[in-house]
Structure 1
């Protein structure tokens, strides 16, 4: 049975945590969770305002999610992309019912960084263009192409990265790069800035713009 001492010891000895100076962190061992709460091994409860990495939208241990995982585990735990599968096909169909226009196909990936890597490649192959624009104050993942798209200091340690990625200032009323005083003014000035960047870079050279 897991104990806080054992979890903490094994974590510090064997787990490499992302975006951290390993010798300066002391991760909190978590024993469980339910709904909006998680708790440690002493039973102290914490409100998970961040939804972990913004992905536990339904809360922790939602009974329908737990039941679906158990049901699928009894049938088939994994399947390669080269095969057709009932659950994957059903999800793709349901997504197609929600997406606008003729966006009827879904390319499934293992996570956000991989999705952005493939979006970068698809945009370049489809348009035959090289440049991609991304906003400052953004995060798109830690893989080589995704970190190139990222517009915050976490990118610096990985540079040089993928060539052809350029950054622009997006709207941010709280600390405006455009000295705006209202959200509407910030919007208009940010769009004018983006249009100017596109003009200077050459719209015919830009494969796409990625936004969070």
Structure 2
């Protein structure tokens, strides 16, 4: 019985040691990503006064495609919703859906199953704002850019755990309700964790 357990453990160790040997090479492979984390939004403005914003959850997913061993293209959609606290004015809740298209440079390191990367790209931000009394407003959409850095850790050739730090820079989006009522600043910093599956 001990020999069987020993052989099983040895086989599992060899599998984990050899399977990820080429895991960092995603050239010609399509991956699906899911992620969840925290987003720190920039402060906004309501009725001409600065309005504080709360850190909240951000989540979403997308696709990644390896163009070469070190270059990848990525498309992701994320959603976040956070409270905006007006200074002597009524606050509310802001939402942003981020359509993000970008590229990654993936570094070669000594540990084959570990792949750090940096990225940059273009973001289309669809914004919304609802006052705390339920009144909905019309908020402009805007275009921004992002820079990111993170790492993938391949558990197997197909499956990787991922972590990413991402900064989005974008112009303020006007809140329109009976004229201009303020603006939402979609600029943010987020930290997310998730998983990727490669076909």
Q: Give the structure-2-normalised TM-score.
A: 0.17
Identify, as 1 or 2, the structure richer in helix: 1
Higher relative contact order, structure no. (Cα contacts within 8 Å, ≥ 6 residues apart):
2
